Structure 1
């Protein structure tokens, strides 16, 4: 399920780190602030090795959509005001403000990543930023990966993230076919409410 990786993404940027930012973190911040729109294919691999695929659509500030492949009854949408997780199988909808959302670090260009994450050793051509919240060990640890790409905004490309939960289970989201700067309609961030008492959105 996407729930745990998404929750841990919030923890990655929940505890401030007040050391002077390293050049790589400055570059990460420059990349995040330079991206106005992005699409990418994603694969989510859970602790058992099961893979779910889909398409990510991003429009800053605040808008994001994880559209899973056919047959996966989950949808995650940020509409600029709130981030919503919809489980169509159980007809459940969960919402929270964008500013408090797990994905705020990626969809809010005003977030200062250098204060909320730390660099860890990475292979050549890669930057890895690790975050965890000691107040919430159940969130585990998340490592967000960037690939150096001169043609991409800020010279970096968001490659994905890996979450290790408190029990040692690993879940990974891998992005491919990243594209930037295209026109994206706000209609891309609408969703249908599965709860019978609501008319939908």
Structure 2
């Protein structure tokens, strides 16, 4: 369970209900990477429910909270003694069962693309699907292949920030392990306190 928890990852799913500002910017259809960049810049906070499936087919669920720049939290379902949280500088994986805490710089994770306040997708990303309903963008740092690959899945929803609704992502790590994360109940730019990204260290 632990080894799969951080490789958080997504085939696109049907558009879900979403609470967003009424002044959402509509994505430019002829510039998909620019649209994704506009979406990321338009999202200051985000909350959602998530389901995470690893390469063995095991699925865990929980709640997802994001606050840019650099803060993220995956609170797993009751009974799963795991927590993944980023406090703005480091990403922590906490295992309350073994009482182990690992951490590394946020930029060393495939999820760094979601947390960067000024993402440069033209350097690290490419469009792998773009049709009337779906946009898939794959990001990988060519200078740091050990960080893995993340494919972000968006539905095109005019009311969402920059016209895109993030539905999840697929991560493939350096060992070629694939993890799928699907989001539902997405809410954008809602109040999120910084205390949401603190955690109690196991004793």
Report the TM-score, using the length of structure 1 for normalisation. 0.79
Kindly indicate whether the alpha-carbon contact (under 8 Å) linking 2:109 and 2:147 is maintained by their aligned counterparts in 1: no
1:2 aligns to 2:5 (yes or no): yes
- In 1, the alpha carbon distance for the partners of 2:68 and 2:120 equals 15
* Backbone CA RMSD of aligned residues: 2.3
Kindly indicate whether the alpha-carbon contact (under 8 Å) linking 1:29 and 1:114 is maintained by their aligned counterparts in 2: no
Q: Partner residue of 1:36?
A: 44
Q: Partner residue of 2:96?
A: 88
Q: Which has the higher contact order (CA 8 A, sep 6+)?
A: 2
Deviates further, 105-114 or 95-104: 95-104
- In 2, the alpha carbon distance for the partners of 1:45 and 1:160 equals 12
Deviations 1:146-177 (A, max 9, x none): 11111111111111112345676532100111
Q: Partner residue of 1:12?
A: none
Map 1:143-182 to 2 at 5 A. Answer: 143-164=151-172, 169-182=177-190
Q: 1:169 to 1:98 in 2, by over 3 A?
A: closer
* Structure 2 segments unaligned to the other structure (5+ residues): 10-29
Deviations 1:68-98 (A, max 9, x none): 0011111111112221111111111112233
Q: Partner residue of 1:127?
A: 135
* Structure 1 segments unaligned to the other structure (5+ residues): 7-21, 197-201
Deviates further, 105-114 or 161-170: 161-170
Aligned length in residues: 180
Report the TM-score, using the length of structure 2 for normalisation. 0.79
